[in-house]
Amino acid sequence: MKALVKPKQGPGLELRDVAEPTPGHDEVKIKVLHAGLCGTDLHILEWDDFAAAHVSPGQVIGHEFFGEIVDLGPGVERDDRSDVLRIGDRVSVEGHVICGRCRNCRGGRHHMCIRTSSIGVDRDGAFATYVTVPAHNVWVQPPEIDPELGAIFDPFGNAVHTAFQYPLTGEDVFITGAGPIGIMSALIARHAGARHVVLTDVFDDRLDLARKAFDGYGAVVLVNATTTDIADLQRDLGMKEGFDVAFEMSGSPRAMDSIINNLTHGGKIAMLGLPAHPYRIDWNRVITRMFTITGVYGREMFDTWYTATTILLSSEPLREALRTLITHRFPAERWQEAFEAAGSGHAGKVLIDWSNSW
């Protein structure tokens, strides 16, 4: 089969022929249909410190994907119950493989497993014709979730996990970072009934992507943070006490500072954006205003998946808004162009079609 692999230590990837995987005990084999590019894949391409610590030469990469089950390994249940996996099921996949033994796993907090390994990072991934994954990680999707939407369920799950850290109905929500996940979180906040949703970025093309997503869906205030004062904006919106909830999706110190300066007393912050370096925070303001700060990683297994599927099934306009975030589509043989688009800083979600990969 064809697969995109890390051929050796150092920058670069290679599309090559490799043996088809065989599902092991409690694993399933999936024919990959569509796969999404993530910042992690760019790190692996460039071979930074993160990649060097996790990826082995010869390993297949890729972790955001949708496909069809084509084989069940030994130990995977096979009967007529509705909750059993079947050949032909169309699925998304949770990319974090857990140990099942640590305290968090045994306590049901699987997303906090201390021995997590990641598909496409620590083990072979889905930029390939076929991939094998633990049956536990498979999420069967309904027909309304097509291969393209299913391929971006991983980042959509990040947005869902972040957005539902706190109640949103009737709240004023401030979101920094209008990348695809930031826009997804704004869509969710609007879907959940937030009063004002303000989404900021420093690049107009990111805000244009958000504008397209919200066209015909619902009101959101889009702000270039380099030209608009957030305190003035609050006054224009009739807000007297500051934002109730904030999502930091950019990893920018300046964005975090803007949140801390514009949150009401007792405000709540969910942080998904990863900073490139440690940075200073005004802890006096955090303490005296009694802010709550929650770090968010991945998806809550599997409550986030239930929530993500359910809210998309409840709203066709939300599904269509989410689809606008897919800005580039490439066949597998044009994977280099896909990486160039994803690395340009001007793309939304980039998909690679593996359904006809020889």
Residue whose C-alpha is closest to residue 175's, from 265, 28, 273, 76: 273
Same-domain check for residues 112 and 188: no
Same-domain check for residues 14 and 63: yes
Joined tokens for residue 37: 């590019």
Same-domain check for residues 134 and 21: yes
- Read off the CATH number of the domain in which 10 is found: 3.90.180.10
Same-domain check for residues 146 and 110: yes
3-state secondary structure of 273: coil
Same-domain check for residues 142 and 166: no
Residue whose C-alpha is closest to residue 144's, from 311, 329, 352: 311
Mean pLDDT of all residues in 58-87: 89
Concerning whether 40 is annotated as a catalytic residue, the answer is yes
Same-domain check for residues 236 and 209: yes
Residue whose C-alpha is closest to residue 66's, from 147, 120, 121, 179: 147
Cα 102-150-304 angle, rounded to 5 deg: 40
Q: Give the total number of structural domains in the chain.
A: 2
Owning domain of residue 190: 161-295
In angstroms, the Cα distances linking 141 to 67, 157, 262, 336 are 10, 14, 39, 29
Report the DSSP pairing between strands 130-134 and 117-118: unpaired
Q: Residues 6 or more apart from 304 whose CB is under 8 A from it?
A: 157, 160, 161, 164
Lowest-confidence pick of 51-55, 172-176, 305-309: 51-55
Report the DSSP pairing between strands 243-248 and 27-36: unpaired
Same-domain check for residues 115 and 16: yes
Give the confidence band of 81 by pLDDT, cuts at 50, 70, 90.
low
pLDDT value for 185: 98
- Read off the CATH number of the domain in which 193 is found: 3.40.50.720
Give the C-alpha separation, 185 to 177, whole Å: 10
Q: What percent of the chain has pLDDT over 70?
A: 98
Concerning whether 265 is annotated as a catalytic residue, the answer is no
Marked catalytic residue, from 22, 25, 34, 40: 40
Check whether 7 has a pLDDT greater than 80: yes
pLDDT tens across 173-184, in order? Answer: 999 999 999 999
Same-domain check for residues 100 and 228: no
Give the confidence band of 218 by pLDDT, cuts at 50, 70, 90.
confident
Check whether 88 has a pLDDT greater than 90: yes
pLDDT value for 332: 96
pLDDT value for 216: 77
Same-domain check for residues 86 and 143: yes
Marked catalytic residue, from 43, 54, 136, 346: 43
pLDDT value for 159: 98
Give the C-alpha separation, 290 to 266, whole Å: 5
Same-domain check for residues 34 and 60: yes
Check whether 84 has a pLDDT greater than 90: no
| Overall pTM surpassing 0.75 (yes/no) | yes
Give the C-alpha separation, 210 to 101, whole Å: 41
Mean pLDDT of all residues in 192-200: 97
Lowest-confidence pick of 4-8, 82-86, 112-116, 219-223: 82-86
Check whether 82 has a pLDDT greater than 80: no
Give the confidence band of 357 by pLDDT, cuts at 50, 70, 90.
low
Same-domain check for residues 168 and 240: yes
- Give phi and psi for 199, each to the nearest 5: -120, 125
| In contact, 197 and 188? CB cutoff 8 Å | no
Whether 313 is covered by a domain: the verdict is no
pLDDT value for 346: 87
Mean pLDDT of all residues in 183-196: 96
Give the confidence band of 345 by pLDDT, cuts at 50, 70, 90.
confident
Report the DSSP pairing between strands 90-93 and 138-140: antiparallel
Look over the chain and give the mean of its residue pLDDT values, rounded to a whole number.
95
pLDDT value for 89: 96
Check whether 43 has a pLDDT greater than 90: yes
Check whether 151 has a pLDDT greater than 90: yes
Whether 319 is covered by a domain: the verdict is no
Mean pLDDT of all residues in 119-142: 96
- Helix-helix angle 39-46:335-343, to 10 degrees: 110
3-state secondary structure of 233: helix
Whether 303 is covered by a domain: the verdict is no
Check whether 358 has a pLDDT greater than 80: no
pLDDT tens across 220-276, in order? Answer: 999 999 999 999 999 999 998 999 999 999 999 999 999 999 999 999 999 999 998
Amino acid identity for residue 292 in this structure = T
Mean pLDDT of all residues in 319-330: 96
